[in-house]
């Protein structure tokens, strides 16, 4: 399990890890999951380049990427 905490609002969410998926980059990951499963809204355009603001292309090339499938256990707002 992992607890994520928003540092600005102190909102927290506890999740259970259901699956881990390793890919060489986000482009490959995006080919295997629908945009809703990755957190996009239905009317949004899912673009792997969106992730480059968090993980540079160089970091992806060096380390690869991991998709973490979760199930919410507890949501504290």
Nearest to 17 by CA among 67, 69, 65: 69
pLDDT at res. 20: 97
Give the lowest-confidence range in 2-6, 21-25, 26-30, 61-65.
2-6
Nearest to 51 by CA among 42, 40, 62: 40
What share of the chain in percent tops pLDDT 90? 94
Nearest to 13 by CA among 22, 24, 5: 5
pTM: 0.78
Q: Element (H or E) spanning 30, and its range?
A: helix 26-32
pLDDT band per the 50, 70, 90 thresholds, residue 77? low
Question: In angstroms, how far apart are the furthest CA atoms of the chain?
Answer: 36
3-class secondary-structure state, position 38: coil
User: What integer best gives the mean pLDDT of the chain?
Assistant: 94
């Amino acid at each position: 399990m992992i607890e994520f905490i928003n540092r600005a609002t102190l909102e927290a969410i506890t999740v259970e890890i259901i699956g881990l998926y390793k890919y060489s980059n986000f482009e490959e990951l995006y080919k295997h999951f629908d945009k809703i499963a990755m957190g996009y809204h239905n009317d949004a355009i899912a673009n792997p380049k969106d992730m480059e603001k968090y993980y540079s292309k160089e970091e992806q090339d060096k380390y690869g990427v991991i998709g973490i499938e979760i199930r919410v256990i507890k949501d504290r707002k």
